[in-house]
Amino acid sequence: MMLNDKRLLITGVVNNDSIAFATAERAIEAGAQVMLTAFPRDRHLTEEAARHLPGEVGVAELDATRAEDIEALGHRLAADFGHLDGVLHAIAFAPREALAGDFFEAGPESVSLAFHTSAFSYASLGRLLRDLAPDGGGSLIGLDFDAAGAWPVYNWMGVCKAGLESVNRYLARDLGPLGIRSNLIAAGPLHTRAAGGIPDFDALLENWETRSPLKWDAEDPYPVAEVACFLFSDMARAISGEIVHVDGGYHAMAGNLRKVDAEELVGGAA
């Protein structure tokens, strides 16, 4: 199987509707051993989601902004797995004032927390993988939302994603000599728990309905998960520093392709 005997850390699983959960499920089906991380106050939710995955899946607490949590996680992984072949960074957070309202009104504390959680933590997990990867290397993957331009919503989180894209390139530079790859997946908008915190999320979906050349299903995280599994696999052994777009082709279009009535937008629970 594509990920036979790979040992993977999957962050960001809070329920079974997320990209992270779908990635864990597909990875296990492909032969991987998986450990999940849980933000401390959400541990019970992550453990409940883990029960929907095939086999026994461990859960470790992680606040990715705390160095002591990263260190403790490293000890847990060394004890349970011995080594680590890959990490999915599915962590992002911004206080509401950094996401909504006037871009100029967000305070430095909110922006700093958003950047630490959403971009700097990617480097922290890269360091963890560096210390636990086998001699053959490994694969670090982050979840992105294309930061090539400014969105009508998203505000400082868009800036944080631009920072994440830059961090990815520097990690590819510094981890490459160890055989460790670093790549991002820029997914189209999906109805996940995180999406529920984005003001005017339906405005993003409307963009996809009018511009994406392929039909985009905002309820289906598995196309993203399957690309993550490819990037974890040895088939992606020469890919690093890349941003892989799994967005129905939206990013490649220069303008709208069609008009769509508001009633046709893909709905669903956040």
Express each pLDDT in 51-82 by its tens digit: 999 988 999 999 999 999 999 999 999 999 99
Mean pLDDT of 155-184: 98
Q: What pLDDT was estimated at residue 204?
A: 79
Q: What pLDDT was estimated at residue 153?
A: 84
Which band of pLDDT confidence, cut at 50, 70 and 90, is reported for residue 264? low
List the structure tokens of 269.
């629970």
Does residue 265 register a pLDDT over 80?
A: no
6 catalytically annotated: no
Secondary-structure breakdown of the chain: helix, strand, coil percentages, each rounded to the nearest 5? 45, 15, 40
Q: What pLDDT was estimated at residue 262?
A: 55
Q: What is the largest CA-CA distance in the chain?
A: 55
CA distance 77 to 62: 12
- How long, in residues, is the chain? 270
161 catalytically annotated: yes
Does residue 44 register a pLDDT over 90?
A: yes
Rounded to two decimals, what is the model's pTM?
Answer: 0.93
Does residue 197 register a pLDDT over 90?
A: no
44: phi then psi, degrees, rounded to nearest 5: -60, -35
Cα 99 to Cα 82, 116, 151, 187, 237, distances in angstroms:
40, 15, 11, 19, 36
Does residue 269 register a pLDDT over 50?
A: no
Q: What is the DSSP string of 212-223?
A: -SS---TT--HH
Cα of 252 vs its chain's centroid, Å: 21
Q: At what angle do helices 155-175 and 108-115 cross, to 10 degrees?
A: 40
Q: Are 131 and 74 in contact (CB under 8 A)?
A: yes
Spell out the domains of the chain, with CATH numbers in brackets: 7-264 (3.40.50.720)
Which band of pLDDT confidence, cut at 50, 70 and 90, is reported for residue 255? very high
pLDDT over 70 percentage in the chain: 93
pLDDT over 90 percentage in the chain: 85
Q: What pLDDT was estimated at residue 232?
A: 98
Which band of pLDDT confidence, cut at 50, 70 and 90, is reported for residue 32? very high
CA distance 92 to 233: 24
Q: Are 15 and 47 in contact (CB under 8 A)?
A: no
* Active-site option among 122, 154, 215, 250: 154
Q: Are 225 and 23 in contact (CB under 8 A)?
A: yes
Does residue 193 register a pLDDT over 80?
A: no
In this predicted model, which residue has the larger pLDDT, 197 or 52? 52
Range with the lowest mean pLDDT among 89-103, 117-131, 175-189, 232-246?
89-103
Mean pLDDT of 162-189: 98
List the structure tokens of 30.
């492909």
* Active-site option among 6, 122, 161, 250: 161
